A and B are shown apart, each in its own frame.
Chain A
Amino acid sequence: MHELSLVHGLRETLHRLSDEHGGRKVARVEVAIGRLSCCVPTTFSFVFGAIKRDDPLISQAELVIEENDGDDVVLMRVELEVSDDV
């Protein structure tokens, strides 16, 4: 259930990163989910898919999830589309 609050946190972070780096759109997001984090990867994907539809910055973003043995949920890498004239 708390995948929703995690995805909201992810979206805020993506907006902040995009503002800082002059991003137009997020192309790809890599998230590492620990098996002891109580976060279910399929639910996380589902919620991300539902949230991104209404947000032009992330609507085209591809989400890649890697699982590990930790107890945290970590935003590893982001690929931004940036305008040339920035």
Chain B
Amino acid sequence: MCETCGCGGDASAGLQLEVNVSLMEENRRLARENRRIMENMGARSFNFMGSPGCGKTYLLEKSIAGLGNRFRVGVIEGDIETERDAQRIRAQGVPVVQLTTGGACHLNAALVRKGLEELKAHGGNRFDLIFIENVGNLVCPSDFDLGEEVKVALLSVPEGSDKPAKYPALFRRASLFLITKMDLLPHFDFSVEEAVSLAREINPKIEVLCLSAKTGQGMESWFQWLMHQ
């Protein structure tokens, strides 16, 4: 009906809809399904996020080597291009799937679903630990729930201790903050105290570990943390 005069003409009328739906809702729905899939596989799952070059892949290589045969580990690698990271992980002898986003700066739940199906095809249905390495980026990945149990934020010493204040979203959502490349501390003006206090201003409950995958410093505490998760 025409609202002006009540005639039955073909004038258009506006319809106001109160929607109130998150544009992230579809990703969240898929993430909830991923969470259930990984639980059914018996796995604890970890989403590693940090800048390009902060040492995510190296930490995974050294962690897989250090954990030895104690756990069945599966890895999902996210990158914009190439199989390079998957090749490094494969050399450690564990099942790995490389996801390439073709330009996107983060993984999303739909991609990880595909990764989980491939991981099952390569490595079977049972895992103790699933490590998901996100695209190197301190900003966008934290916005996308993948269905992981634990979000891990990595920051390397050369990046500077002011980064938790400058990139708050990741540190707000992570439950563990790993300060990596601690062997470089003597060469940089990085204050561990500043990094930790800035992160805790944003997220008072965040746990912090300092390590160097290269020298092995702090790695035993990291393994203990992983095992008690």
Contacts and interface: CB of A to CB of B under 8 A. Distances in A.
Interface residues of A, number: 33
**Main SS of the interface on chain A?**
mixed
A2 B16 CA distance: 28
A17 B105 CA distance: 29
Nearest to A70: B22
Given A71-B169, A73-B24, A80 B9 contact: no
Among B12, B20, B106, B139, chain A packs the most CB atoms within 10 A around the CB of B12
A21 to B, nearest CB: 6
Nearest to A13: B21
A2 B22 contact: no
Contacts of B140: 1-2, 38
B168 interface: yes
A77 interface: yes
A25 B2 CA distance: 17
Contact of B21 (A23, A27, A38, A75): A75
Interface in A1-15: 1-2, 5-6, 9-10, 12-13
B23 A84 contact: no
A37 B1 CA distance: 41
Given A71-B169, A84-B8, A84-B11, A77 B17 contact: yes
Contacts of A78: 16-17, 19
Contacts of A5: 104, 108
Given A38-B140, A83-B12, A2 B19 contact: no
A67 interface: no
A6 to B, nearest CB: 5
B22 A73 contact: yes
Nearest to B142: A38
A21 B169 contact: no
B23 A74 contact: yes
B91 interface: no
Contact of B23 (A1, A10, A24, A85): A10
A1 B137 CA distance: 11
Contacts of B168: 36
Given A1-B106, A5-B104, 4 more contacts: A72-B24, A75-B22, A80-B15, A84-B11
Interface of B: 1-2, 8-24, 26, 104-106, 108, 139-140, 142-144, 168-169, 172
Interface of A: 1-2, 5-6, 9-10, 12-13, 17, 21, 23-24, 27, 31, 36-39, 71-85
